Amino acid sequence: MTATKWEYKIADLSNSTSMGYSNPETEDFKEEHKDSDWKLLMMNIEINKLGQEGWEMVSNNGSDQIYFKRPVLS
């Protein structure tokens, strides 16, 4: 039986810069989604991107840090 090896990632979703957006990109995003909770929408987009890359959500510490894991491919 082979044990699965995992890699881990902590995603900081506390602000748009930590999610990889520049200030101009953030302002454009806020303007485009001004009738909704733009930060929540941006966080969901980032979480879905990580999921498409094979990351599985493990836990959320109650703040904006979310812990992920994915199997290491050998």
Taking only the tens place, the pLDDT of each residue in 36-65 is: 998 889 989 999 999 999 999 999 877 788
Classify residue 13: in a domain, yes or no: yes
Classify residue 1: in a domain, yes or no: no
Classify residue 51: in a domain, yes or no: yes
Among candidate residues 43, 37, 36, 41, the one with its CA nearest the CA of residue 14 = 43
Report DSSP state, residue 47: H
What total of structural domains would you count in the chain? Answer: 1
- Average pLDDT on 20-49 reads 90
For tokens 């999610």, the residue is 19
Q: Note down the domain range covering 58.
A: 6-71
Percent of the chain topping pLDDT 90: 54
Between CA 41 and CA 47 the distance in angstroms is 10
Length of the chain: 74
